[in-house]
Amino acid sequence: MTAASPLHELLKTHFGYDSFRPLQEDIMHSALGGRDTLAILPTGAGKSLCYQLPALAREGLTLVVSPLIALMKDQVDQLSASGIPATFLNSTLEPDEARRRLDAIRAGKLKLVYLAPERLMGGRFLETVRSWQVTALAVDEAHCISEWGHDFRPEYRRLRELRAALPGVPVIALTATATPRVREDIVRQLGLRDPAVFLASFNRPNLHYLVEPKKDAVKRIARFILERGQDSGIVYCQSRKRTEEMAAALRHAGIAALPYHAGLDAAARARHQEAFLRDETRVICATVAFGMGIDKPDVRFVIHADLPKNLEGYYQETGRAGRDGLPADCLLLFSRGDVMKHVGFIQEIPDDEARQHAHAQLEQMADFAESDACRRIDLLGYFGETWTEENCGACDACLSPRETWDATVEAQKLLSC
Ligand code: ADP
Ligand code: MG
């Protein structure tokens, strides 16, 4: 019998797993070889491990930039529980605590340090970072650096300065969302040098896609949920107000539901998220503010009560269902009124190029909803992937070919304006 590789041993001892998921090992070898690496893997594929485990395998410190403070704490807690010396720095820390952590980093006691992008502001911090023994830089949710992605964060642009402050330190960028355009943007914005690119299939075979005309939305949604026993799921709504109304209406129908949006105070957001993660509420009615990095494996359905503004958002949001690999349903309610609402918002965008881009994306979204072709083929095609089988067997178009809607012509009229 051959001895297990050092990476396998670390996988077993620190994370308790017996084997790597697809691409994980290749990505780690690339990163450990000192090459800039871009990993594009769908949600739930196990991207964190791709920088956490190499951090243990190499000397020195790995810096991790990650956009969400709440996630940072979770990840660090998990790592600490597995005996991996890790910490995070962000604006929530008391000065004394921050100083203690900086001392520990300087003393070389840590393998992984998570940074909030707002920490990157200021030359003094970069000066400090330069004095550490940094041997790798990981940028999680790397699409946040691109204006063409669905979750642009201006702070991410400061990463260029961090990168410049650490010449020769290899970068690994990770994301679950990258159209070819966003991919190029990540490479350019981060200044990746001849990166090794790993691109996994975006197909989520356990997700069942379903699109219906929007009529009596609340009733339809309540029925859909009630048909699913005690399963839990997310209802995405277009506005904050609508998440509140939807949650109230579902509660009225006897379904435990809570709203989630950026207008709630931090305590309420945390409470509602926790309640959902712990199955104390079945349903969360949310704006797109909810979801990034939320690791609830058994979300059994994702409903779009309103039309998302692009297919990338739709893919990401539906992708939060079925992370455990078991079947899950994605229902989109479509109306031409929603297209019109988006057109209204888009017309307000002052920049010509951005407006045209948003318009083209909306057009793709509407085409998807109105098409009677296989949803999976359309969705994967958007990410530049070809699906070779004729019938995916798990979308409304493949399971029950339907009549063309009369909404098509009018929606096209709206979009041609
Ligand atoms: P991503 O960031 O790609 O969405 P995560 O890094 O959050 O995914 O990982 C998703 C889940 O998969 C986590 O619960 C993680 O512990 C688990 N996981 C990652 N790698 C493996 C592996 N090789 N074997 C088993 N579980 C894994
Ligand atoms: Mg992740």
Chain segment 366-412, per-residue pLDDT in tens: 999 999 999 999 999 888 888 877 789 899 999 987 655 555 555 55
CA 71 / ligand 2 centre spacing (Å): 9
Contact 373, 403 (CB under 8 A): no
Chain segment 299-333, per-residue pLDDT in tens: 999 999 999 999 989 998 999 999 888 999 999 99
CA-to-CA dists, residue 103 to 44, 93, 97, 128, 246, angstroms:
34, 14, 10, 11, 48
Q: How confident is the model at residue 264 (pLDDT cuts 50, 70, 90)?
A: very high
Global confidence as pTM: 0.74
Q: Whose CA is nearest to atom 2 of ligand 1?
A: 47
Q: Whose CA is nearest to atom 26 of ligand 1?
A: 17
Contact 159, 139 (CB under 8 A): yes
Quote the strand ranges of 219-281, DSSP E.
Answer: 232-236, 257-260
Q: How many CA atoms lie within 13 A of 238 on its CB side?
A: 16
Backbone angles phi, psi at 300, to 5 degrees: -95, -15
Lowest-pLDDT choice from 49-53, 274-278, 386-390: 386-390
Say how far apart CA 380 and CA 394 lie, in whole Å: 14
CA 263 / ligand 2 centre spacing (Å): 24
DSSP H or E stretch at residue 134: strand 134-139
Say how far apart CA 64 and CA 75 lie, in whole Å: 11
Instruction: Please report the DSSP string for 213-228 in residue order.
Output: E-SSHHHHHHHHHHTT
| SS3 call for 121 | coil
Cα Rg for the chain, rounded, in angstroms?
Answer: 22
What pLDDT is recorded for position 382? 87
CA 46 / ligand 2 centre spacing (Å): 7
Q: How confident is the model at residue 1 (pLDDT cuts 50, 70, 90)?
A: very low
- Tokens 């690994």 correspond to what residue? 172
CA 130 / ligand 1 centre spacing (Å): 31
Backbone angles phi, psi at 285, to 5 degrees: -100, 115
Q: What's the whole-number mean pLDDT along residues 91-113?
A: 93
Say how far apart CA 392 and CA 399 lie, in whole Å: 9
Q: Where does ligand 1 bind, in terms of residues with CB under 6 Å? A: 17, 20-21, 24, 41, 43-49, 176, 295
Token couple for 84: 């991996």
Q: Whose CA is nearest to atom 17 of ligand 1?
A: 46
Chain segment 3-12, per-residue pLDDT in tens: 568 999 999 9
What pLDDT is recorded for position 181? 85
Q: Whose CA is nearest to atom 15 of ligand 1?
A: 46
Q: How many CA atoms lie within 13 A of 353 on its CB side?
A: 2
Closest-lying ligand 1 atom to the alpha carbon of residue 41: 3
Q: What's the whole-number mean pLDDT along residues 118-123?
A: 69
CA 70 / ligand 2 centre spacing (Å): 13
